[in-house]
Amino acid sequence: MLAAFNGYTCQLSDKGIFQRDSFEKLGGFSKTADLLKEKNSRAVFKKFLDHERRAEGTYDEGCVLENRTYLDLAATQRLMGGDQDAAIAALDRLAVAKVLCRGFALVCATCKHAAWYSLADVTDEFRCRRCGREQTMSHRHWRHPGAPQIFYKLDEIVYQFLRNDGEVVALGLDYMARNSKHPFHYSPEIEFRESGSTLLGEIDFCAAYDGVLAIGEAKKNGELASSNAEACKIVEKYVRLADMLYARRVLFFTTSQQWKSSTVEAVRRPFQDKLAVPLFIAGDDLLGRSSN
C-alpha cells in the first residue's frame, strides 16, 4: 500500500523467490538459520559453492563438473568432522527435503566429457550430454572407487539462494525474530518499480520488527560494495526507500566479524536527521554460540 501510494509497484525479486522457496524446502527461516549456525552443516553448504578444481588423487572433497560442485559421502563425512553417522543422517534429511538430489558423476568413453547424471536419468545405460553416445556403465566411466559412487547435487534454487547471500538473510531474520518483543513478520527480497517498468531498487528483506517497519541489506564480507561509488548508491537507495516506506529501522547484516568502518561511516552520514535509524549486526550476534 505504501508503495502504491507513492506511485510504485512491488513484487518479489528473483532472489526473493530463491529465499521463499529455499525456506520452504528447509522448514522456514528459523530452521534454515539453525542449520547455518551449526559449524559442520554450514561447512557442507559452503562446500557446494567451492568450485576450485580438486587436486588429482583427492577423493574426499567431492568433484567439480561444469562449474558445479557435487559431494559424496566421503566428502560430507570429512566436513562433518569425520562422523559418518552424522554425514549419512544429514544427506538423508536433505535428500528427503529435496534440497539434495542423488546421481552419478560419469565420464563419456567417447568424447571424455564428464558430467553429473541424476538417478532418474540413468539405468544401466546413460546418454552423454555432449556427444549423445549411449553407453553401458562400466568402471571406465566412473574411475574411482571400484563401484559407482553416489554424488549429491544441491538443488538449483537453494544453490542460488546461498550464492546470493541468502545465508545472511536467514540468519538476519532469525536474529530479528528472536529479539522482537512484538509479533514478527517479514517478506523476502522485494523490488520496487516506477510505472511498472523502471527499477527503483531492491531491499533484501522487509519486516515488522519490534513493533516498527524495518528494511535491510545482507552481505557476507562486511562491506556494501567493492567501490565507494557503488556503496554510496546502495546507501542512497536505502535512504530513498526508507523515506518512501516510513521505515523506522534499516538493518545491515553481515556474517563477518564486523562491518568495515568505512562502510559504517558511509551509511551513518546520509541517515542523519532521518526517521529511519541504521543498525549494524555482525557475525557473533548472527551465528551465536552454536557456530563455535
Averaged pLDDT of the chain: 93
Is the predicted pLDDT of residue 173 greater than 70, yes or no?
yes
Give backbone dihedrals phi and psi of 99, rounded to 5 degrees, phi first. -85, -30
8 A C-beta contact, residue 94 and residue 48: no
pLDDT at 19 over 80: yes
The predicted structure's pLDDT at residue 55: 84
Note the Cα 110 to chain centre separation in Å.
37
Cell for 264? 559504517
Binned at pLDDT 50, 70 and 90, residue 53 comes out as confident
Task: Give the domains, in start order, of the chain with CATH numbers.
Answer: 2-14+161-291 (3.40.1350.10), 28-96+100-154 (no CATH)
Mean pLDDT for the stretch of residues 109-119? 95
For residue 290, pLDDT beyond 90 = no
Whether pLDDT at 292 is above 50: no
pTM: 0.92
180-200: b (≥16 Cβ within 10 Å) or e: beeebebbbbbbbeeeeeeeb
pLDDT at 4: 67
> Does the pLDDT of residue 291 top 70, yes or no?
no
User: What is residue 140's predicted lDDT score, i.e. its pLDDT?
Assistant: 87
Q: Give 229-243 pLDDT, tens digit per residue.
A: 999 999 999 999 999
Decide: 238 and 209 in contact? Cβ < 8 Å.
no
Per-residue pLDDT band at 135 (split at 50, 70, 90): very high
> Stretch 12-22: mean pLDDT, rounded?
97
Q: At what angle do helices 156-163 and 166-179 cross, to 10 degrees?
A: 80
The full length of the chain comes to 292
Q: How confident is the model at residue 283 (pLDDT cuts 50, 70, 90)?
A: very high
pLDDT band of residue 2 (cuts 50, 70, 90) is low
